[in-house]
Structure 1
Amino acid sequence: MGKGTSNQTFTNYHDNGKLSEVACAPGSGSLTDPWKQPGSNYPYTPGLLAMDDVNKLSHLLPLKNSASATPNAGSRPDELLGKFEYELFKLQQPHDTGLSEEKRQLALSVTRRFFDRCKANFLGFPGVVSLSYSHLADFLDVEVNNVGDPFTTGSSLTQAKFMERAVLDYFAAVWKAEWPHDVRTQKADVIDSSDKQLVTALENPSSYWGFVTTMGCTEGNIYGLWSGRHYLSGEMMLVDGHLAGEYGLGRPANEDHSDGLSNGQGKSGSYFVNGDQERATLEKLSGTVLRSPTKESKSPICFYSSESHYSIRKAVVLLKIKTFHKAATKLNFPPPKGFDSWPTEVPSNEDGSINVQSLAVLVEEFAKRGYPALICFNSGTTFKGAYDDVEKAADLLLPIFNRHNLLNRSFYYTDGKGEVRQVKRHGFWVHVDGALGATHMPFLKMAQMQGVLELEPDTTIPDFDFALRGKKTQHYDYSDIEVVNSIATSGHKWIGCPFPSGVYMTKTKYQMMPREKPSYILTLDTTLSGSRSGLASVFTWDYLARHSFNDLMEKAVHCHNLATALAGKLRVLNDLVERGELHPNLSPPSLWVSRSPLSLAVVFRRPNKAIMHSYILSEEEEFRDGESRKLSHVYTMGHVTLEQIERLIHDLSQDGAFDLDK
């Protein structure tokens, strides 16, 4: 394809079995012609092309919409490189006969060289770029689609759910959940039309349930907050399904999560009962909302810290969940004690972890008014890599929930016989965004417990997993209260994967009722998307199969020690700066070096653009005591070496390294 300009002949097959041929000229059809050209502001990828590339490629890449076909034509270098980048990767246009093989190979060669350069100095993001998965190339020649629930095979057999279930069992063990999953919640793979009850009684409702994600931890965060909203709003969970099937529940009178604040009850009304129904369908059950006394039926309020990932803010908008700031503003609540006004997010400590005292104050302002709490903690914040102390937060929050009758909320439904029945739920949901820390920290803790890692005496590795319980106090025993409801992590960060992936996990008793079990795929529609990448399970399974717990402990200690070494080297530079012996023109004279406890991220003053691009560093602006600080950081992931760190330290020691105009 793409080498000739003659007409191409196509064969048409007709219903009567006859064949006909038609010739098609290049560029014919209804597509726009001439093809629209981009404007003058071409996007530009730093490092993809260089000016010497332009000299070599100009004869292959004519710039049809610009007189600037050579570096000497007066264009700025970045504009010219942007134009050549666009032309190099532009695909077939209506007047073309296809992309030439020479140009296709050239584009791939440039891309390979670009990624090789990126891999050499990739320090600024929490991802692994040096991977070893070429032995899985055969899996790239087949569609691997884990559509539907991980614990039901379904009818689409080009899937790898058998690997997905093994991966989920692995994480359930690491996160101290009860495993394996209790599959009694879902019946056989084949639907029996004579048996409409698709949900049965659970033997172990505390066993885990989860799935491998396609969109990384963001997908897990969205699903976790969605599940929390569902649970706290009194909607039917999968664990309630056998009761509904037995007692004949129907659809709710109203199902709307857009507000639920003005009268404290929300717009999710109680369901009606149809006594003639033998059992409710899944579609009806998924929308069922349990009745609750007015005082307890208010909409859930979301709390997350100022250091939380942007996907959390996106999720609350997508799911129409009210944050405490928006709810307090709408309802004109006075600011709580210690605050001049309502903060937009829960304040964080200087190290990036959530301020648990502030969280407790903010939560109580809503708890005393009967609002349940949907709380998101971090195990490894995005920029500082900080770890929230979930256990300490629980010690403060559980007594608050107890004081305001949110430890056990009563929901009611009327069964098909007209009898009122009761369901008990907590008035809180805790989700842990463990994009980085949920894979890294368990192995660091294992290393500490086995004496492989020595930490400072006052440094503890915070717990965040499903084993976390409340404590027994002088006034109340919280030791049976499960603190964590759901956890999400990324597979492409600390573990490493060529594409985004992740794991979401909760307990079976907290699993949402799916809307249906489509006969097309013969599996419950329990996950966020329909189709899911089966390759995410294949690649994650392969990595875990090739690396023992000891291997991962060694990796965790290596990453931790590199971060310690980097922080130490940067502090040596900072001492020179503060004494005026290095970068004497910096104002103020400081590199602002910091590292949160146990973090793999080391934060420092943002260097110049050349260093930022060379090491692929990210940046963030922070305000401290009214002073603006432009910061960057390095993540010591598994591919990072001491030699790379030494090169960075050398470059940061050169004149002009922190000149932001360069």
Structure 2
Amino acid sequence: MGKGQSNETLTHHHDNGTSLEVALTSGSGFPTDPWKKPGSNYPCTPGLLAMDDVQRFSHVVPFRNQAGATPSADPRPDELLGELEYDLFKLQQPHDTDVSEEKRQLALSVTRRFIYRVKDNFLGFQTVITPSYSHLADFLDCHLNNAGDPFATGSYLSQTKFMERAVLDYFASLWKAEWPHEVRTQEADDSSITKLVETPENPSSYWGFVLSMGSTEGTLYGMWNGRDYLSGKIMLIDGHLAGDCLLECHDNGCHTNGRSNGQGKAVESNLVNVDQERAIVEKLSGTVLRSPTKESRTPICFYSSVSHYSVRKAMVILKIKTFHQVATKLNFPPPKGFDSWPTEVPSNEDGSVHVQSLAILVEEFAQRGYPALICFNYGSTFKGAYDDVGKAADLLLPIFHRHNLLNRSFSYTDEKGELRRVQRHGFWVHVDGAVGAAYMPFLKMAHMHGMLEQDISIPEFDFALRGKKTEHYDYSDVEVVNSIAVSGHKWIGCPVPTGVYMTKTKNQIMPLEKPSYIHTLDTTLAGSRSGLASAFMWDYLSRHSFNALMEKAVHCHKMAATLAEKLRTLNDLVERRELHPNLSPPTLWVCRSPVSLAVIFRRPNKAIMQKYILCGEEEFRPGESRKLTHVYAMEHVTLEHVDRLIHDLSQDGAFDLHE
């Protein structure tokens, strides 16, 4: 038998009484080599294991399979601990069919020790590290799957959609959407498939779903939703149409632009002469249809330079073009005030989007007929800033009006050969409110009730936001926000990644599939969706009244202000060379955006970064780069945490001298 092979066998018993001996050897395709090791650069989790563990765990996890081997002979402790970590949690076993109970309990014990250690000083990320959901432990003993549309029960009944719908109503109310949802599906008489209600009574009512990931999933869906809406795709409200793309009028008549009947065959369309079509539309609306171009079907995305990294990923996944990509490819001259095309929309010092720059960039494309897909941040960036969506709308709506993007007409011929028209905006506004869309409504309520000691300004972001009446035009009926996403595991504090995506019924995407298998339309991003996520969200909201959440918002706001004040006091000592006199330049770069839960400061040494679970970011400025970190004042952060951090930052060597 070759090296690394085992002489263990498995006896398999057939139903007919015979048995089969199976040799468990690595040469037979079984992963039985117990001593395979990862490379030297394999991840080693800081703080999970200590050097003492190498010897203490040797009876369960033999060190390198060498009797008497000692770790002191190896000059790289991280490599040794990484190897021990790999072996401790390795699932492939050389002899038994499962991990030994002793090793399993040891691995779980190490994990618990690590988690509790992390919880003690967790300051650097936008999550509540101490949620309380152990009372729902029995939910873990059942698979809960909210497959398909939240508003259709479907055939998979081990679900929590009844909780999901309550959570969605809650956020619709919080975000001033029209609720409850106007249900658009009904079961067929034979109970074999779900049919559409073609014309909902209230198409402006909300629609949404609870996410199985975080706000990243919601923003990905929002960008997809906006892309299809702006490019002329058939939406769910147009469900009586076949195919995936609306017709438009062209100079040489109308065409289907690749429309299909959903079965892979082209649909024969009743084409209408362009002059005849325009005459009909003019009679219907008093407006002239613009001849569509490639540009009119090409949404251009705009997002700020400090947007969450997942926004850039969404552009790649969805193949959405950004303004920089198109402008540089087509050699557009830089807009007024810019020497060259920026990669992303510039941001202010506090991290909010520079709305004047956004307006300039959007108009460069609006005047060429491109619709705008805009992603705003609402507390979801490194600096925790809040884009002023209302102020941006005041600048953008007149631009859309000037360039015929306030309302656009898409036309098609129905099954009777009659011309029909759909009106849509030439813009889509998505709000990535990972943190702020849950936190800020309650801070605003607290402010209105006099619970804050100082006056604050809170930018609007929700579905109630409308344009303003100006001297030249009344935009007060224009709905500004099309979709919102929030994370449930951040300010709310669910123990698993989750969140909410929300738009309006009239904006719903036409699902690619209508599977009878689950007896519900496939309207969400994932096929299977976590039923636990909805249960956790419902449980949290049911245990916390509006008053309790206002108190929580005030606590977080005050804790961020307290930390910023203490850091500025520390910074005064640094600038006077009374503390860390050799630090270059002599400053801690303390910054807190208005009403943000994030407090930015100079990145300390590696030990402090790991102790408080801090993240890092590098900010480039003319002539210098700043290596920064931040603390997020979430619910679990107390004055004790703040004072402990300030103490550590005051010690000699707390900062690397030239970072």
Residue 399 of structure 1 corresponds to which residue in structure 2?
A: 398
Partner of 1:359: 358
Q: 2:259·2:266 contact (CA, 8 Å) conserved in 1?
A: no
Q: State the alpha-carbon separation in 2 of the partners of residues 282 and 475 from structure 1.
A: 49
Aligned partners of 1:644 and 1:196: how far apart in 2? 53
**Aligned-partner residue type, residue 230 of structure 1:** D
Q: Which runs of 5+ in 1 are unaligned?
A: 256-262, 274-279
Which moves more between the two structures, 317-326 or 380-389?
Answer: 380-389
Q: Deviations over 1:491-523 (max 9, x none)?
A: 000011111101000000000111222111000
Change (3 A) 1:264 1:418: closer
Counterparts in 2 of 1:190 and 1:65: CA distance versus 1, 3 Å: farther
Partner of 1:260: none
Aligned to 2:216, the other structure's residue is in SS state helix
How many angstroms does 1:83 deviate by?
1.1
Query: What secondary structure does 2:620 align onto?
Result: strand
5+ residue gaps, structure 2, are 1-5, 272-288
Q: 1:90 is matched with which residue?
A: 90
Alpha-carbon distance in 1 for matches of 2:346, 2:658: 33
Deviation per residue, 1:87-140 (Å, 9 max, x gap)? 111112355543111111000000000000000000000001111100000000
What is the match of residue 258 of structure 1? none
CA distance in 1, matches of 2:558, 2:313: 34
Deviation at 1:61, TM superposition (A): 1.7
Q: Structure 1 residues 138 and 189 mapped into 2: Cα distance closer, same or farther (>3 Å)?
A: farther
Asked if the contact 1:37–1:65 (Cα under 8 Å) also holds between the matched residues in 2, the reply is no
Aligned-partner SS, 2:614:
coil
Q: How does 1:309-388 map to 2 (within 5 A)?
A: 309-388=308-387
- Correspondence for 1:307: 306
C-alpha deviations, 1:213-232, integer Å up to 9, x for none? 11111110100000000000
CA contact (8 A) 2:351 2:593 kept: yes
- CA gap of 1:630–1:505, structure 2 versus 1, over 3 A, is same
How many residues were matched structurally? 629
2:515, 2:522 within 8 Å by CA — same for their partners in 1?
yes
Residues 187 and 200 in structure 1, CA contact (< 8 A), matched pair in contact too: no
Alignment RMSD (CA, Å) = 2.8
Q: TM-score normalized by structure 1?
A: 0.90
Three-state SS of the structure 2 residue aligned to 1:472 is coil
Counterpart of 2:213 (choices 207, 212, 215) is 215
Instruction: Answer yes or no: is the 8 Å Cα contact 1:372–1:427 preserved in 2.
Output: yes
Change (3 A) 1:650 1:251: closer
Task: Give the structure 2 partner of residue 259 of structure 1.
Answer: none
* 1:10 pairs with one of 9, 12, 27: 12
Contact 1:26 1:97 in 2 (8 A): no
Q: CA deviation at 1:34?
A: 3.5
Question: Which residue number corresponds to residue 276 of structure 1?
Answer: none
Instruction: Supply the distance in 2 between the matched residues of 1:654 and 1:189 (Cα, whole angstroms).
Output: 71
Change beyond 3 A, Cα 1:606–1:250: closer
Name the counterpart of 1:55. Answer: 55
* Contact preservation (8 Å) 1:353, 1:388: yes
8 Å CA contact 2:234, 2:244 repeated in 1? no
Alpha-carbon separation, structure 2, partners of 1:107 and 1:408: 60
SS at match of 2:410: strand
Instruction: Report the secondary structure of 1:187's partner residue.
Output: strand
Mapped partners of 1:143, 1:284: distance in 2 = 39
On the 8 A contact 2:246/2:412 being kept in 1, the answer is no
- Give the drift of 1:22: 3.1
Matches within 5 A, 1:97-496: 97-183=97-183, 185-188=184-187, 198-242=196-240, 244=241, 249-250=242-243, 270=257, 293-295=291-293, 297-456=296-455, 459-496=456-493
Q: What letter corresponds to residue 603 of structure 1 in structure 2?
A: I
Q: Kindly tell me: are residues 269 and 594 of structure 1, through their superposed partners in 2, closer, same or farther at Cα, counting changes over 3 Å?
A: farther
Pick closer, same or farther for the CA change 1:196–1:555 going to 2, 3 Å.
closer
Moved more, 226-235 or 412-421: 412-421
2:8/2:25 contact within 8 Å kept: no
Q: Which residue in 2 is equivalent to 1:597?
A: 594
| Distance change >3 Å, CA 406–CA 254, structure 1 → 2 | closer
Residues in 1 aligned to 2:243 and 2:188: alpha-carbon distance in whole angstroms: 26
Q: Deviations for 1:23-58, whole angstroms, at most 9, x for unmatched residues?
A: 445547422554643223331100101122223123
What is residue 633 of structure 1 aligned with on the other side? 630
Letter aligned with residue 626 of structure 1: G
Question: Would the aligned equivalents of 2:439 and 2:553 in 1 still touch at CA under 8 Å?
Answer: yes
- 1:182, 1:202 within 8 Å by CA — same for their partners in 2? yes
Change (3 A) 1:284 1:307: farther
In the alignment, is the contact (CA less than 8 A) between 2:584 and 2:658 conserved in 1?
A: no
Q: What displacement does 1:606 show?
A: 0.3
- 1:195-245 Cα offsets, whole Å, 9 max, x none, are 996342110001000000111111101000000000000111111114x2x
- The CA deviation at 1:660 is 6.5
Distance 1:335 1:240 in 2: 39
1:587 aligns with 2:617: no
Q: Tell me the SS of whatever aligns to 1:411.
A: strand
* Deviation of the 1:452 alpha carbon: 1.1
Partner residue of 1:607 out of 604, 608, 611? 604
Equivalent pair of 2:599/2:630 in contact (CA under 8 Å): yes
CA 1:612/1:640 → structure 2, altered by over 3 Å: closer, same or farther? Answer: same
Q: How far 1:298 moved relative to its partner?
A: 3.3
Write out the 4+ residue segments of structure 1 that deviate beyond 6 Å after TM superposition. Answer: 65-68, 280-286
Aligned-partner SS, 1:489: strand
Alpha carbons of 1:657 and 1:404: their partners in 2 closer, same or farther (altered >3 Å)? same
Describe the SS at the equivalent of 2:584. Answer: coil
Paired residue type of 1:74 = D
1:190–1:522 Cα contact (<8 Å) kept: no
Identical positions, percent: 70
CA 1:284–1:53: 2 relative to 1, 3 Å: farther
